[in-house]
Amino acid sequence: MIQNHNGYICAWKPIGPTSFQIVDRIRKASGINKVGHGGTLDPNAEGILPILLGQGTRMNQEFGKYAKKYEAEILLGTTTNTLDSDGEILSKTDASHITKNDIKDSLSSFRGEIEQQPPMFSAVKYNGERLYNLARKGITVERKPRKVMVYEISISKLEASIAYVSILCGNGTYIRSISDELGQLLHVGATLQNLKRVEYGPFKQENAKTIDQIEQAFKSKTYDDIYPLSYLFKNWRNVTLSKTQHDSISDGMDIEIRDQDINNAKEKPNPPVTSPPQENQIYALSPDGNMAAILTRKNNNYWHPSKVVPR
């Protein structure tokens, strides 16, 4: 079994299991104690689920800075209490008169920064209890709207009252809510029938591995599909530390780095999927080439280790 391995796996979660169940299967297959995921997917959704291994679990918050791309199938003319196909049907309306252009026009209202009210069937907590637990008891509570960012939204086709919609959005966006609000704008109602996450920052569908493939890779001791910690930051500038500098940042001390010693990013940002980092942040590599820290400029040429990867 592999031990203390740090990095990420681009996993493809199928419809059915929870994100936690996928994590649990990989933990058992790999023998790695620290395993997590970036960005939960509902059981009835499929798509990219970044798996964080070892010290990769410390990068969980960094994943929230990256955009996600979804492919949604929205059923027009039907509403449910969960805003998706798993829920109880509340209403049915003939939506055969709705055209692709009608949907295209309505989708324009979702672009940019918008406010969303979290659905009652969501994992948001209210007085310490998940909203979906309250919803199952028939309890509805007031939810404060949240600001989210939708960078791109478009319809590719409309068949049998099912709209196929592509959405590139920021962290915390509820696709179910967009489906529901689209139905309201069209005056026929709508619910989310299927959802697929095809991109998440630098991770793409074509690079994703199924849970069976991942388990087999660990059993056969082939680990080619594990990305290093620095993969998430390949559009950041970086620096390779000397042994003395590495020792200092490991102790939480500021270090001096000259601008001419900072390397350019390996890849240019691809906004908004991978946005450029702030100018005052870089990542640091240890002398042996492993990610050592995220550094934040303090003043002049001095940099503070804002996040350190333990040796």
Residue in the block written with tokens 């948001």: 124
> How do the domains of the chain map onto residue ranges?
7-65+202-227, 68-197, 230-308
Count CB atoms within 10 A of the CB of residue 121: 21
Does 1 have pLDDT greater than 50?
no
CATH of 7-65+202-227, one of 3.30.2350.10, 3.40.1390.10, 3.10.20.30, 3.20.20.70: 3.30.2350.10
Whether the ω angle into residue 277 lies within 30 degrees of 0, i.e. cis, is: no
The one catalytic residue in 42, 84, 102, 225 is: 42
Query: pLDDT category, 42, cuts 50, 70, 90?
Result: confident
pLDDT at 239: 97
* The 3-state secondary structure of 92-108, one letter per residue: ECCCCCCCHHHHHHHHH
With left for phi above 0 and alpha for psi between -120 and 50, is residue 274 left, alpha or beta? beta
Percent of the chain at pLDDT > 90 equals 70
Q: What is the pLDDT of residues 192-221, one digit of tens each?
A: 999 999 999 999 999 999 999 999 988 887
CATH of 230-308, one of 3.30.565.10, 3.30.70.330, 3.40.50.300, 2.30.130.10: 2.30.130.10
- Stretch 219-246: mean pLDDT: 89
Give the residue with greater pLDDT, 190 vs 131. Answer: 190
Same fold, 68-197 and 230-308: no
Q: At 119, phi and psi to the nearest 5?
A: -65, 155
Residue in the block written with tokens 């659905």: 119
247 included as an active-site residue:
no
Q: Which helix (H) or strand (E) holds 108?
A: none
CATH of 68-197, one of 3.30.2350.10, 3.40.50.880, 3.40.50.300, 3.40.50.150: 3.30.2350.10
- Stretch 63-90: mean pLDDT: 93
Query: pLDDT category, 223, cuts 50, 70, 90?
Result: low
pLDDT at 266: 84
Give the residue with greater pLDDT, 120 vs 9. Answer: 9
pLDDT at 276: 65
Closest to 87 in 3D by CA, of 197, 186, 196, 193: 193
Q: Which helix (H) or strand (E) holds 73?
A: strand 68-76
| Rounded distance between C-alpha atoms, residue 303 and residue 262, angstroms | 12
Greatest C-alpha distance within the chain:
71
Count CB atoms within 10 A of the CB of residue 187: 9
pLDDT at 3: 42
Token pair of 139 as six digits? 């309890």
Closest to 12 in 3D by CA, of 230, 229, 210, 147: 210
